[in-house]
Amino acid sequence: MSRKNEPNFERYLTALHCEEPDRVPLGDWHVDQLAKDAFLGKKVKTLQDQVDFWCAAGFDYVTASSGILEPVRAPEGMTTKGDAVRTQYGESRQREWAHEHEGVITNWEQFEKFHWPSVDDFDFSQWDVLDQILPSGMKAVLLLGKIYTTVWMYMGAETFFYSLENNQELVAALFEKVGRIQYETFLRVIEHPCVGAVLNPDDVAHNTGLLVNPKYLRKYVFPWYRKIGDVCREKGLGFVFHSDGDCTEIMDDLVACGFHGFHPVQPNAMDIVEAKRRWGDKLCLIGNINLDSTLTLGTPEDVRAEVYERIRTIGPGGGYMVASSNSITDYVPLANMKAMIEATFEFGRYPIQLEEGGVKGKIWTFRAKPKIVEEVVPDQLDVEGYVRVLLGGDPSPVIERVEKDMGAGLQVSEILKKALIPAMTIVGKKFQNGEIYIPEMMLAAKAMSGAISHFRDRLVTQSEQTLGTVIIGTVKGDLHDIGKNLVIMMLEGQGFRVQDLGVSVSSEAFVEAVKAHHPQIVAMSALLTTTMIEMENTIQALEKAGLRHEVKVVVGGAPVTEDFARKIGADGYAYDAPGAALKCKELVS
């Protein structure tokens, strides 16, 4: 690139304070190693190389991490390695992260025995070096270890979700421990003059809303953010929050915690125009250049058009930085990364006066969330009563209720069909509407499956058939499975038998499973744009094995769309877990 960057951290701070600097700054926090290497044309190894990369790419800062980090620095026994994945840079990379079902701290004994690090155990020498080598005008942004994410990863996602409702003292102790370590780390790092801002990353949301009820974030997490925020404000440091997903419900809390900026405003989860209207004078919005589609699947011209459009609509008045909607991953083509940077320099100069449609390209806009389609018709049975006991998470009151209805002369199978399954559908609807969160939905599913197991013998003797068998897995190269596990729970709740093939499932493994289990449905989950292609590969492998006509194929996951499902020849798509269960029901009826 011929352009010469002159870093100016004041530019970054001015944008953070929702004012207009000389131009719109770049705001990414993480660029994968291979993308950095390709950009610089050499291996980025040393801290000096890092500084060279961030500077050459046009940033006013370099980022560096301290504190308890995830996932690669997770303690021994906590991480799992995935299959190698395809990257845009010719190399195959293995990723590593925490086990989803069970972590290393699930009870008090493990909590006490755990070798908790102290701040003195961390190596802060990189900050001494950065104090020396940063060019004038450039500062460092501290990526502080996570609080919410660290706690759930230590416990494992499912244990954490259940414990929020059932083992709150342990959860509170973990937040206290982790929060203190991160806070003390923060105090230690900001002693270094090179630090100009702090970015607090914690993924608390997914596409449809928060992962857990905000009351837990307010109780356990936000008090720590507020403590950090107070110090940042006092010392004139920038303070940025990162979370994927739809954070609408906590944007006011973020302002109250003292954050200046919010990153990455994921476009399929939040409408940035609406966010600018509501919080644009209090929070600088950073990101929104679409990693699901434009940056990964689009052309450089599409990227240019999207950057133009964001600067045109969100840039005026200040309070905007251009960045990807998560990070520059190793599946973003180099030409697209460069196009994003160049377009920011080309169109971002203040005052911004850009005409609508000034650059032509395919622009991806906010995708509204569909609402549940099936209306539940209340029966003579007290469906709402079943909803209440299901949400309690304990199978016993559900069983008692079923027994009471049996006393009135009803068969278990009838109660299942007319009360329990509709009640579970209502639970799904509450999740879709944001009335309940993942932990409540998991608890309801657990109570439901406990009750079904209790009556299994009677259901069988009444020749109650299951709706059929579904085999499900997260596709090869992808290890996201929280959503897949929720889909399983909803499928079981609706009466399907489910074979879970786990994560990073190859097309061959799907074919083998179809041969072994003769399912009615093959369901695939993908959360990464780069792994969506595996869904098509699996459909082709099923065709090749002569099995395609025997099964219906359903696909889903955050970046998957109905259009994509149609294109690859799937039979069905659903936006979320309740929708997945309804779609599968529709396909077997």
Does position 556 interact with ligand B12 (CB under 6 A)? The reply is: yes
Rule CB under 6 A: choose which of 480, 548, 552, 585 binds ligand B12: 480
d(CA 480, CA 284) in angstroms, rounded, equals 29
Does position 387 interact with ligand B12 (CB under 6 A)? The reply is: no
Q: Which is nearer to ligand B12, 60 or 576 (CB)?
A: 576
Does position 238 interact with ligand B12 (CB under 6 A)? The reply is: no
CA 170 to centroid of chain Cα atoms: 24
Rule CB under 6 A: choose which of 265, 558, 582, 587 binds ligand B12: 558
Q: Give 448's Cβ-side CA count (13 Å radius).
A: 33
Sheet holding 61-66, edge to edge: 61-66, 139-144, 195-201, 238-242, 261-263, 284-286, 320-321
Contact 400, 449 (CB under 8 A): no
Stretch that binds ligand B12, among 48-56, 130-138, 303-311, 526-534 (CB under 6 A): 526-534
Does position 150 interact with ligand B12 (CB under 6 A)? The reply is: no
Does position 470 interact with ligand B12 (CB under 6 A)? The reply is: no
Backbone φ and ψ for 298, nearest 5 degrees, come out as -80, 175
Rounded to the nearest 10 degrees, how much is the dihedral formed by the CA atoms of 30, 36, 38, 41?
160
Between the alpha carbon of residue 173 and those of residues 167, 290, 329, 466, 570, the distances in Å are: 10, 37, 34, 43, 46
| Secondary element (H or E) of residue 46 | none
Does position 295 interact with ligand B12 (CB under 6 A)? The reply is: no
Least distance (Å) between residue 328 CB and ligand B12: 9
d(CA 265, CA 292) in angstroms, rounded, equals 13
Rule CB under 6 A: choose which of 31, 144, 157, 390 binds ligand B12: 157
Does position 483 interact with ligand B12 (CB under 6 A)? The reply is: yes
- Binding track over 198-217 against ligand B12, x by CB under 6 A: -----x--xx----------
Does position 244 interact with ligand B12 (CB under 6 A)? The reply is: yes
CA 269 to centroid of chain Cα atoms: 10
H helix intervals, 462-506: 482-493
Does position 557 interact with ligand B12 (CB under 6 A)? The reply is: yes
Does position 333 interact with ligand B12 (CB under 6 A)? The reply is: no
Which residues are CB-contacts of 465 (< 8 A; sequence separation ≥ 6)?
none
Does position 95 interact with ligand B12 (CB under 6 A)? The reply is: yes
d(CA 140, CA 514) in angstroms, rounded, equals 52
Least distance (Å) between residue 468 CB and ligand B12: 15
Does position 247 interact with ligand B12 (CB under 6 A)? The reply is: no
Does position 528 interact with ligand B12 (CB under 6 A)? The reply is: yes
d(CA 589, CA 471) in angstroms, rounded, equals 17
Residue matched to tokens 């932990």: 439
Least distance (Å) between residue 350 CB and ligand B12: 28
Of 389-428, binders to ligand B12 (CB under 6 A) are none
Does position 538 interact with ligand B12 (CB under 6 A)? The reply is: no
**Two tokens, residue 125:** 């020498």
Q: Give 182's Cβ-side CA count (13 Å radius).
A: 33
Stretch that binds ligand B12, among 11-19, 177-185, 319-327, 365-373 (CB under 6 A): 319-327
Number of C-beta neighbours around residue 154 at 10 A: 25
Rule CB under 6 A: choose which of 444, 525, 548, 582 binds ligand B12: 525
Stretch that binds ligand B12, among 129-137, 397-405, 413-421, 576-584 (CB under 6 A): 576-584
Least distance (Å) between residue 388 CB and ligand B12: 22
Does position 269 interact with ligand B12 (CB under 6 A)? The reply is: yes
Does position 82 interact with ligand B12 (CB under 6 A)? The reply is: yes
Does position 288 interact with ligand B12 (CB under 6 A)? The reply is: no
Does position 522 interact with ligand B12 (CB under 6 A)? The reply is: no
Of 433-452, binders to ligand B12 (CB under 6 A) are 438
Contact 439, 163 (CB under 8 A): no
**CA dihedral sign of residues 287, 288, 293, 294:** negative
Q: Which is nearer to ligand B12, 66 or 288 (CB)?
A: 288
Which residues are near ligand B12 by CB under 6 A? 32, 71, 82, 85, 95, 97, 100, 157, 203, 206-207, 244-245, 264, 266, 269, 291-292, 325-327, 329, 438, 478-484, 486-487, 523-525, 527-529, 554-559, 574, 576-577, 580
